[in-house]
Each structure stands twice: as C-alpha cells, then as structure tokens.
Structure 1
Amino acid sequence: MLLILVVVLFVVGTSVASPVVENQSRPQVLSYEMDTGNMPNSYNFHYNTSDGSSRTEEGNMINTGMGAPALDVLGAVRWFDEKGNQYEMTYKAGKRGYRTIIKKIS
C-alpha cells in the first residue's frame, strides 16, 4: 500500500512539475537521490532537471494513536512557466488529508 501511494504521488508531482508541450524536448534529469533504506517506515527523494524544475519529498509512518499507523508526506515541486516565472507547490498528505500551497517565487 505504501509503495502504491509513493508511486501515485510521484506521478502526480511529475505531471505538475513538467507538463508535456508539443514540439518541446523532455527535460533531462540532472541529479536524483532516493533513500529507501528505512522502508516501510520512511523514505525521501530529490531530483533536479535540465529545465530548472525540481522535486523533494519525504514520507514517514506515524502512530495515530488509533491502532494502524498512517503515512505522513511532505514535499515541494518547483517549475518555470512559459514566461520564465518560477513557481513552487508545497504539499502535505496525512491524517488530515492532502493540502497544497502554490506560490510564485520569481
């Protein structure tokens, strides 16, 4: 179940961070780090791409006090629009649902 959630969040985040535009080459991954050494208790990853977009995420299992543990996820995605403005979406998913904040950085 944890792996499915990680994959879903990865697909959603990458589709937001780098939309497919006709006649535009796909950005190349410049750096990628992933730590799953403590799975299923926690994970984290980070990547940067050639178009200036990036994503960082960490997930941790937390004790909700109600029996089964829950996954708590924090992350951020950065990208540029067609005018060169940079945006950042931060997100948190956990027992209170999925929340995002999008802001223009430059």
Structure 2
Amino acid sequence: MIEKVMVSIIMLTAVFARPQNSTPQNSREATILRYENENIGKSGYNFAYETSDGTSRLETAEVVNPGTENETLLIRGTVTWIAPDGQQYTITYTADKDGYQPKGSHIPQ
C-alpha cells in the first residue's frame, strides 16, 4: 500500500514540476547543479536537486506509525520552477493519509 501511494505522489509532483513550453530563456537543456539522494530503506527517503534553468526540488518521506495498523507514509516537499512567462513559482506540499495537499501563492485556497 505504501509503495503505491509513494509512486502516485512522485508521479504527481513530477507532472507539476515539468516544464510546459520552451521559451528563449529556457530553450537550452538544463544542467544539474546539485543532486542529493538518500534512500533510508523502508523508513523513508530524502532527495534534492537544482538545475541551471531555475528548477529545484526537495522532498523527504518518513513512515509514520511503522509496523502498526495505522502505518502510513508522510511526504513533505517543495518544488520551484521558472514559467515561460519568466515568473518563478513554488509549490510546497504534504502527502499523507489525507492525500496530496499543495500550497503556493498562485494556488487558490
């Protein structure tokens, strides 16, 4: 169950983070400036990256209530990118037993 939730959440955040269109300011391929990845096994993971086109992402996951009937995965993250209009957007999100909860100044509350 946790693996299915984890894969779904990772796929959702990847969709939100992908570039939508190529513009003169981001038409070149981005290069990776920083990459960190720590897979801490069944108890969670941490990763972060930053690219030359202004995209960055940080995500951590931990198992809450491990080994119990209420075991669940808690994921926290932030993704930032430059849109084709040149504006920088940031989404901070949590994904847990209550679902995916994104927040950002551009997202209606």
Residue deviations 1:27-55, cap 9 Å, x none? 2222110111x211011100001110101
- Given that 2:9 and 2:100 are in contact with CA atoms closer than 8 Å, whether structure 1 keeps it comes out as no
Report 1:4-83 matches (<5 A). Answer: 4-21=4-21, 24-36=27-39, 38-63=40-65, 67-83=69-85
CA separation of 1:82 and 1:46: change in aligned 2, threshold 3 A: same
TM-score by length of 1: 0.78
Identity of aligned residues (%): 32
TM-score by length of 2: 0.76
Whole-angstrom distance in 1 between the partners of 2:19 and 2:87: 15
Whole-angstrom distance in 2 between the partners of 1:82 and 1:59: 30
Q: CA deviation at 1:66?
A: 6.0
Query: Which stretch of the first structure deviates more once superposed, 2-11 or 48-57?
Result: 2-11
CA separation of 1:94 and 1:16: change in aligned 2, threshold 3 A: same
CA separation of 1:17 and 1:10: change in aligned 2, threshold 3 A: same
How many residues are aligned here? 103
Structure 1 unaligned spans of 5+:
none
CA separation of 1:86 and 1:28: change in aligned 2, threshold 3 A: same
Whole-angstrom distance in 2 between the partners of 1:69 and 1:43: 16
